[in-house]
């Protein structure tokens, strides 16, 4: 599958089959994702891969009882190790860096006929406790990973002209 197809096929999966993900596939996804860019090539993040169903259930509870998380055979937490770094454009680098690697994982999952879903609604302190994340770090997002239960639905997207401006910002064409 080429990158264009993977991007178009990627969707938020909220229902997973019970099929496990092979270690070979998981390691191929993680190994390839580590080539994701980061600010100053700092790679100041950790990915916590959770496979234990009991721990995944705890994660679902800390994510405000989002039940479909329990269906996923894998949950990956993207943790920033440096929440103080600010890029030259005055934007914190840590959410950007973690988002890039998690998005790479989401696209690689599609290439492996797997699905994923971003989870950003959770109790930070409770999730840190479940995953043993030190206080000074921040869990930016979680990503469920597994074989989708249903076929892809057609994604609706705005027209290109509604989201792209050339040369300068324009509210409307």
The pLDDT score that the predictor gives to residue 173 is 58
Low-confidence ranges of the chain (pLDDT < 50): none
CB 105 within 8 A of CB 145: yes
pTM as predicted: 0.93
The pLDDT score that the predictor gives to residue 134 is 98
Distances (CA, A) of 89 to 14, 36, 45, 114, 135: 35, 20, 21, 35, 27
The pLDDT score that the predictor gives to residue 103 is 97
The pLDDT score that the predictor gives to residue 172 is 72
What sections of 10-142 are H helices per DSSP?
23-33, 53-62, 94-111, 124-131
Q: Which residues contact 17 (CB under 8 A, 6 or more apart)?
A: 146, 147, 148, 149
pLDDT digits (tens, 9 = 90+) for 90-118: 999 999 999 999 999 999 999 999 999 99
The pLDDT score that the predictor gives to residue 152 is 67
């Amino acid at each position: 599958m080429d990158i264009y197809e993977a991007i178009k096929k990627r969707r938020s999966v909220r229902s997973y089959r019970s099929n496990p993900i092979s270690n070979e596939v998981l390691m191929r996804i993680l190994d390839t994702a580590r080539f994701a860019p980061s600010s100053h090539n700092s790679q100041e993040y950790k990915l916590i891969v959770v496979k234990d169903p009991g721990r995944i259930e705890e994660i679902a509870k800390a994510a405000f009882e989002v039940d479909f998380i329990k269906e996923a055979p894998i949950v990956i937490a993207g943790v920033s190790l440096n929440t103080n770094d600010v890029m030259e454009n005055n934007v914190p680098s840590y959410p950007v860096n973690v988002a890039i690697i998690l998005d790479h994982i989401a696209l690689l999952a599609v290439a492996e006929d797997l699905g994923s879903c971003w989870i950003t609604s959770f109790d930070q302190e409770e999730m840190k406790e479940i995953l043993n994340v030190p206080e000074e770090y921040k869990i930016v997002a979680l990503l469920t990973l597994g074989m989708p239960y249903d076929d892809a639905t057609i994604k609706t997207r705005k027209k290109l002209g509604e989201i792209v401006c050339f040369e300068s910002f324009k509210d409307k064409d």
